[in-house]
Amino acid sequence: MKRKRYYYKFWLKSSRGTDEVSVRMYNSPQTEETLRADVETWGFCYGAWKMSDCRYGFEGLNKLPKNRKECKKLYDKYCKESQKLIDKKRLYGRLFLCPPFNGQK
């Protein structure tokens, strides 16, 4: 019999640029108090926790890939998409240097 596992995403963002994500697995559903304590323990490892304004939290993960192969396929897909977005961002950023985008006629 296959045992059900519960996955949660922990995240931490700060005003100083920290943007961290972690995935945790549990063998049973966790209470909100337990998850809050776990995410605070995890977040305490980052300097932003003590030095800047930070936001943190957790959320349950549903609809996960069925296996490692499917996970790799999704990872590759989103890597390609993100690279396309980075290229577009770079292009439009460079347009600010060219007339008329830089305020000149």
State the DSSP string of the chain: -PPP-EEEEEEEEETTS-EEEEEEEESS---HHHHHHHHHHHHTTSTHHHHS-EEEEEEEE-S--SSHHHHHHHHHHHHHHHHHHHHHHHHHHHHTTSTTTTS--
pTM for this model (two decimals) = 0.74
Write the pLDDT tens digit of every residue in 17-60. Answer: 888 999 999 999 999 999 999 998 998 888 777 776 888 999 99
Write the pLDDT tens digit of every residue in 55-84. Answer: 899 999 988 998 999 999 999 999 999 999
